[in-house]
Structure 1
Amino acid sequence: MSFRATMLRVATVCFFTLLAAGARADDIDTEHMFGFMIGTDIGHVGEREFQTETTGRFSRNGGSYRAVTQEFEAEFVPARNVRVELGGAFVAHQIAGVTGLDDRRQLTWQGLSLDLRYRFLDRETAPFGLTFAVESHADRVDETTAARIRNFGTEFTLAFDRELVPSFLVAALNFIYQLEWTRFLGSRAAEQEATVGAAVGVMAQIRPGVFLGGEARYLRYYQGIGLNEFEAQALFIGPVAYLQLSERSRLTATWSVQAWGRPAGSVAALDLVNFERHQARLVFGVNF
């Protein structure tokens, strides 16, 4: 059986596990519980939050590669089942001796983002939670190469979650489709690309307000927004920790390692050309 078919079976089994699991408890909020995934909760009408999100990407093919993005985001819930988030980001790169990339050392403003979410099903009244998210961004610096660009991207996420053990164990499943349109200002070259994938996460509440668990993400990268030409695939696995610091503040930390990857036409065990070896994220949020 192929690796792609295996991952599809894993995602399918997880989905039906969510359907079959027990009842929901009210004291678990999955909105910010996961690291590189999302939960289906969106908050209460009138709720407002400020959030900082620090994402690091480390190690590519040869040399030294570090890229850290710092986002500042404001979230609010204007109506039932609707969440809106506005954000802006800075990005820092330190690239030296990486195959295919120019050496760079810079810190600059990256761009703006808009995240819209609509919850179709609430776990409190339905067999599982279901939320659809659309996140769009406009960037002036390429997140991988640090080159000057004009980039517009949109990521569509279909999120499911379910409490497997009430007030203790929660699982989530995400399906992802990300589109990117990019023009490089130096060479005037333009490209279109897409990434599709599935992610599974499980979190356990080891004490009130403290959750530990993990995520697994399988990603496929293509040239062309219509999945025209397959380029690479990778599997990321790593731990996640969520801490409710106070009634109004929270912290989420995660580290993901590329456990397997392969460029198209290669027999390599990792793909460090199209993906990083390590990805990490730290999110702090506060209600106001």
Structure 2
Amino acid sequence: MAVAALLPLAAQAEDIDTEHIFGFMIGSDVGTVGEREFQSQTTGSFAKDGGTYRAFNQQLELEFVPVQNFRVELGTAFMAHDINGVPGFEDRRQLSWQNVSVDLRYRFLGRESAPFGMTLAVETHADRVDETTAAVVRSYGTEFTLAFDREVIPNVAVAAINLSYQPEWTRVALTGAAEQDSTIGAAFGLMAKVRPDILLGGEVRYFRKYGGIGLDDLAGQALFVGPTAYFQISDRSRLTATWSVQAWGRLAGSNAALDLVNFERHQARLVFGVNF
């Protein structure tokens, strides 16, 4: 409602590029041919079922657009964990190099020639530290995301939907135990220009986590809600800030109103990018 009240300020705004305006979600735009970007993405996860839980992921990425409608992103990440007294977790306080990743995106439909934009993103990563428990592992996973977006008010407001599936294979180094799990998700986001260089909005995300990569046994589910802000700092640089809280969740076999075993209570992300 607050964003809608400010929409007249942006009545003469330029077209919205959805590539980077969302926080946890993605838009269908992939950039222009020859574009190159460096991106720093910091993600924080806070609060589990008791004790102290803080996890920070710092990802550094290089993005390229070699041909029309196709984007390549190469990345690496570091993790910092502070875990103390969380049920089912070992106490840890450590900083570690976590993973390498490759993110490929292809835009099948563009909003300029179709009723909506549509992009398929495939992100593959290899981890040496578990992002949740901080245990030493050998983990491989791929996240498939189908992104749709449409300008609901031309040049002013854009809505997006993401559908995702993420299978994961993990082997714990200490015990040799092998695990498989998967997560499916659906998300809705809305962003609106309140000034030519500022967009405000929010994201609603729903996840279901399963044991096994074939969605075999439901482990838990959670609904996250929170605001997002995008700032175009200059012609070449940008900043996106977002925060989400678990508004509802359910651990399998439990009547609790939240799932703080498979998911966190709070998630936050800060993304800075620059073209070069």
TM over 0.5, yes or no? Answer: yes
Q: Secondary structure at the match of 1:123?
A: coil
CA contact (8 A) 2:198 2:232 kept: yes
- CA–CA distance in structure 1, aligned partners of residues 54 and 86 of structure 2: 11
Query: Are 2:264 and 1:276 equivalent residues in the alignment?
Result: yes
Paired letter, 1:223: G
Match of 1:87 among 67, 75, 93: 75
What corresponds to 2:55 in structure 1? 67
Paired letter, 2:107: R
Residues 23-51 of structure 1: CA deviation (Å, up to 9, x unaligned): xx862100011011000000000000000
Match of 1:158 among 146, 150, 170: 146
What corresponds to 1:235 in structure 2? 223
Query: Are 2:200 and 1:212 equivalent residues in the alignment?
Result: yes
Structure 1 segments of 4+ aligned residues over 4 angstroms from their partners: none
- CA–CA distance in structure 1, aligned partners of residues 254 and 47 of structure 2: 19
Percentage of pairs with the same residue: 70
Offset of residue 168 of structure 1: 1.1
TM-score when normalising by structure 1: 0.91
- CA–CA distance in structure 2, aligned partners of residues 171 and 94 of structure 1: 36
Match of 2:251 among 243, 255, 263: 263
Query: Are 2:181 and 1:193 equivalent residues in the alignment?
Result: yes
- CA–CA distance in structure 1, aligned partners of residues 66 and 24 of structure 2: 25
What corresponds to 1:53 in structure 2? 41
What corresponds to 1:254 in structure 2? 242
CA contact (8 A) 1:67 1:94 kept: yes
Question: Where does the alignment leave 5 or more consecutive residues of structure 2 unmatched?
Answer: 1-12
Residues 62-93 of structure 1: CA deviation (Å, up to 9, x unaligned): 00000000000000000000000000000000
- CA–CA distance in structure 1, aligned partners of residues 73 and 261 of structure 2: 32
CA contact (8 A) 1:26 1:124 kept: no
- CA–CA distance in structure 2, aligned partners of residues 209 and 39 of structure 1: 18
CA contact (8 A) 1:200 1:217 kept: yes
CA contact (8 A) 2:14 2:196 kept: no
- 1:132-147 to 2 correspondence within 5 Å? 132-147=120-135
Q: Secondary structure at the match of 1:187?
A: coil
- CA–CA distance in structure 1, aligned partners of residues 264 and 180 of structure 2: 20
Offset of residue 251 of structure 1: 0.2
Q: Secondary structure at the match of 1:276?
A: coil
Query: Are 2:181 and 1:177 equivalent residues in the alignment?
Result: no
CA contact (8 A) 1:197 1:218 kept: yes
Paired letter, 2:52: S
What corresponds to 2:110 in structure 1? 122
CA contact (8 A) 1:86 1:113 kept: yes
Q: Secondary structure at the match of 1:164?
A: strand
Question: Where does the alignment leave 5 or more consecutive residues of structure 1 unmatched?
Answer: 1-24
CA contact (8 A) 1:209 1:244 kept: yes
Q: Secondary structure at the match of 1:125?
A: coil
- CA–CA distance in structure 2, aligned partners of residues 133 and 258 of structure 1: 25
Please tell me the root mean square deviation across aligned C-alpha atoms, in Å: 0.8
Q: Report how many residues are paired.
A: 264
TM-score when normalising by structure 2: 0.95
- CA–CA distance in structure 1, aligned partners of residues 217 and 85 of structure 2: 28
